[in-house]
Amino acid sequence: MGNKKNLFLRDTNVMLGRSMKHIFRSIDTIITVCITPIAIMLLMVYVFGGAMGGGMSTAEYVSYSLPGILLISISSAIAYTALRLFTDIKSGFFDRFKSMPISASSALWAHVLTSLVSNAMSLAVIFLVAFFMGFRSSAGMFNWLAVIGILALFTLALTWVAAIAGLKAKSVEGSSAFSYPLIFLPFISSAFLSTETMPAAVRAFAENQPETAIVDSIRALLMNKTVGNEIWTALAWCVGIMLVAWFFAMRAYRKI
């Protein structure tokens, strides 16, 4: 049992190195992933911030809207995970594993871990831009660790969803199209304005969809405010989506 675990870790590490080399050879991917969320943040703060901020200063609205921008960045970036998986399948990369003495799922896990690392790099860039725009946080180390943990869980959850899309897609376009609704989901949440301003039907959806609880939790942690029960709701959504997506992704992976 221990030997199998060691082989899995070794093979996953090798496959992770391969995937990360692809990322660093095309660093424009990370730049592209950052551009859209940063552009949206600039638009929301400097164009719509006065109307949507409810009297907040520019710096205050940057801090208010930042959690939603982070989720948009992750939702945008995972499309590349699906695309890389689809490319590996079509090139016959996975087929070659069947005749090699390596762990069957190591390549899939490598793609997932690559998504986690590349998203962390993109989020760091967005935090830096937000800092120059006026973002400040009085959060302590525990709060920051909690924010990192939530963002990591959210990334893993959506990455496993992306894995399903990449494994089941029939075309390049189809492998990444699933991400478009996810990118727009923060706009129907509390990410950029209070849900109280929304029509009843839209408000009901916004208050009960996963990203509202995640946004509210991250915002409260960064602003060093009391975090209510929404953090448990956020964690439940992240873990629940991750486990369900992992189950179906592994099923799809075994069938290729």
Residues 224-255: tens digit of each pLDDT = 898 888 999 999 999 999 999 999 998 888 87
Count the Cβ atoms, other than its own, within 10 Å of residue 82.
Answer: 28
The pair of structure tokens assigned to 231 is 């953090």
Residues 122-135: tens digit of each pLDDT = 899 999 999 999 89
The pair of structure tokens assigned to 68 is 């939603």
Residues 72-115: tens digit of each pLDDT = 999 988 888 888 888 877 777 666 666 666 666 777 888 888 88
Output the pTM of the full model. Answer: 0.88
Q: From residue 80, give the alpha-carbon distance in Å to each of 5, 91, 184.
A: 28, 16, 17
Residues 145-182: tens digit of each pLDDT = 999 999 999 999 999 999 999 888 888 777 777 888 88
CA distance 87 to 13: 20
pLDDT score recorded for residue 43: 87
Report residue 11's pLDDT band, with 50, 70 and 90 as the boundaries.
Answer: low
Residues 41-56: tens digit of each pLDDT = 888 888 877 777 677 8
pLDDT score recorded for residue 234: 95
* Residue bearing tokens 């949507």: 52
* Residue bearing tokens 């369900």: 244
Backbone dihedral region for residue 226 (phi beyond 0: left; psi -120 to 50: alpha; all else: beta) = beta
DSSP secondary structure letters along 51-117: HHSTT--HHHHHHHHHHHHHHHHHHHHHHHHHHHHHHHHHTTHHHHHTTSSS-TTHHHHHHHHHHHH
CA distance 44 to 51: 10
Angle of helix 106-133 versus helix 58-90 axis, rounded to 10: 160
